[in-house]
Structure formats: C-alpha cells, structure tokens
Amino acid sequence: MKVRRKSFAIIGTICLVASLALTTASAEQRTAQPQAAKVALTNVATAQNPTAGTAGPGGTVWIAERAGTIRVLGDQGLGEPVLDISAETTTDGERGLLGIAFDKQFTHFYISFTNLDGTSTVDEFAVSRGKLLPDTRRTVLTQTQPYNNHNGGDIKFGPDGYLYIALGDGGSGGDPHGNGQNLGTLLGKLLRIDPRGGTPYAIPSDNPFVGDPDARSEIWAYGLRNPWRFSFDAGTGDLLIGDVGQSDWEEIDWAPANSKGGENYGWSQMEGTHPFRGGVEPANHVPPVHEYDRTGLGCSVTGGYVYRGKTIPDLKGQYVFSDYCDGTVRSLQLENGKVTGVNDLGVNGGEVISFVQGCKGELYVLALGGSISRIDPA
C-alpha cells in the first residue's frame, strides 16, 4: 500500500504543465511579450510518420505514429512500441492513428484512430505505474466517416477534466452534407465528454446543447471544417483551434477559459472571415482570431500551443503554430483573445503535422517525414 501510494504521487506530480500552471495563472501570464523570440530547433528523435504526442507519466513524451504504433520518448530517445494497433487502422487518405491523450492523473490513456472501416474511434486504457494495461481496453466513442479525409482526430483533456474530441466535417470538399452547421451530427464539431462518468461515457450536464432535442448533447462547439489540432493554454485555460481551410483561408479559433460552449465557428457558411461559396454569415458566428491566405504562408494550418515553458522567456504567452505545407514556425501574441502580433520565429520544422507540449511546458515539433524537434532558445 505504501509503495503504491508513493509511486502514484511521483507520477502524478511530475507533469508541471497540467498540474501547476493553471493554479498560477495571472494577469502577467495573459500579457504577450512584445518581441519575436529567438529560437532554434533541436532534433531529439526520429519516428515513423509521427502524427501526435502527449506529455506522459514520469516526464516522458509519448509519440503516436500514423500507422498505429505508440512509442515513448525518454532520456534515451524513442523506445520500442508500447502499443501497436497497426492491424486495426489504415493510412489511406488522411486516416491512421491521429491522437493520444492522458487524463490529468495519468490513470487512463486514450487513443484516437480510424478503424478498418474508416470509422473514427476513441479507445481507453487504464494505466498503472506508467504502463498501459492492455486487458482494460474499451471503446469510448465512434463516429462513422463518409469520406477518408477531414477526420480531425485530436483529443485533449481540458482544464475541467473532461475529454474534448475534434471531428472534421466528414470530408470530400466543401462540406457536401452540410455537417458543419448541423447540430444533429458529431461531424464538424468539438465534443466534450466525461469518459469515466458512464458507460461508454457520460455527458457533462453543463454542455451547451443538453436538453435540445435537435442537437447532439456531446457537442461543445461547431462550424468546424477540419480542426486537426487544438489545445488549451496551460496558463489560462483558453481554447485554441487550428481549423484547416478549404482552398483560400487557414484559421485559428479561440475561446476563453470561462466559455460556456456553443461557439459557432462558421463552416461551411464561412471560410475564415469570408462567406464560403455564397454562404451567409451566421448571426452567432465566432470569427477566427487569426487567418492567413495561401499566398506564400502554406496551405494547411497546424495548430500548436501557447508556450508556457521556462527556457524561452520571450516566447511566454505566445501561441506557437505552423503549416503543413510551409513548415515555418510562427507565433501569435495574444491578449484576451485579440492578436496583437504575428511572428515568424525563423525556423522551419518541415512537414509540420503536430506539436507536443512536454511536462515542463517545452514544445516539440513533429514533421510527418519523421523528425521530432524541440523548440529551444537560439
């Protein structure tokens, strides 16, 4: 009993980002720094088509590889797979293993992938002493997919302890089924569920559409096209979503930590701040806090994180993101949801597919080609 309690305590307190930062949020942390930080990318490992990652127990970083393996990045580099679901997924279109997350206590681990039918699937494992317990695996949530693109797939625990799941509009192009604005489907939405509160999950009673017979009660926010990567600011709890555009506008969406949910981010009436194919701006449209076109900056936004690490003070409070087609690492200076500056950080991460936030707030850049780099001071 003593030993178990001790090991839990060690694992449970080592990740500073999740446990400490929120309790120390202050006005100072909400204020962005005025200048572009000087950063460098340090290659720390090479993976096979990494798509996602998460801070893990014991100060580790867990990396998901698209074909279905998960490996742990420790001091000795990337280890052998700790999980292999490669027989259960494919990598055609935009499919594969797309997201991983731990709950805040590192007692449960979640994977998000498309199964052999292309169905978006979120499964859960219990965790003991930093290891997955394979026999405890169960499916939490599934969503069939009409096409093999725009699966979304990112999963994160919010500061409220609930699991958020991003799903794209179902795919093809131009949202042919109108899923983005249809509250009767989970496609084109950000979901919020309590995976441990029921079987297979519970819906938090304060979700915005609870009690609305025309809406799925799992929905937290809607009007999303392909919210490939989203995150919560470890300092403030604010939500940031990188929503990939159709053909003209890439966007970053934002909501404050005290949001009650229900935001309509506009797709497919709007692409960024622009009506899409004759669309009419919804009265409740929440426009992006940042958008960029495709004249030189890329073609597919990759959402990242607000930097809350210690080693690059000038980057503190800035939202770091990139673009899969361009690779330049950029940052937004944010003040209460208003962008006060956009910085080119002067480094290129390649085919940037995802960012990972480690336990000390350090950020890693994942390139689909394989490179895992840490953002360090220059």
Tell me which residues touch Ca ion (CB under 5 A): 265-266
Of 197 and 275, nearer to Ca ion (C-beta) is 275
Number of H helices, E strands in the chain: 3, 27
Closer residue to Ca ion in complex, CB, 152/266? 266
Cβ atoms of 230 and 166 closer than 8 Å: yes
How far apart are CB 355 and Ca ion at their closest, in Å? Answer: 20
**Distance of closest approach, residue 285 Cβ to Ca ion, in angstroms:** 8
- Report residue 355 as tokens: 């960012």
Contact 374, 325 (CB under 8 A): no
Between 108 and 229, name the residue whose CB sits nearer to Ca ion. Answer: 229
Asked if 302 and 353 count as a contact pair (C-beta separation under 8 A), the reply is yes
Token pair recorded at residue 47:
């993976």
Q: Least distance from C-beta 222 to Ca ion, angstroms?
A: 10
Min CB(150)–Ca ion separation in Å: 14
* Residues 15 and 55: beta-carbon distance below 8 Å: yes
Q: Which is nearer to Ca ion, 54 or 231 (CB)?
A: 231
Supply φ then ψ for residue 242, to 5 degrees.
-95, 110
Q: How far is the CB of 76 from Ca ion (least distance, A)?
A: 42
Nearer to Ca ion, 140 or 270 (CB): 270
- Residues 126/133, Cβ–Cβ less than 8 Å: yes
Phi, psi at residue 229, to the nearest 5°? -140, 130
Distance of CA 246 to the CA centre of its chain: 19
Q: Which is nearer to Ca ion, 215 or 270 (CB)?
A: 270
Least CB distance to Ca ion at residue 184 (A) = 20
Q: With respect to Ca ion, which residue has the nearer C-beta, 221 or 363?
A: 221
Query: Cβ 154 to Ca ion, closest distance in Å?
Result: 16
Taking only Cα atoms into account, the Rg of the chain, rounded to an integer number of angstroms, comes to 19
Pairing of strands 250-255, 290-292: antiparallel
Q: Where are the alpha helices (DSSP H) in the chain?
A: 2-13, 16-19, 27-30
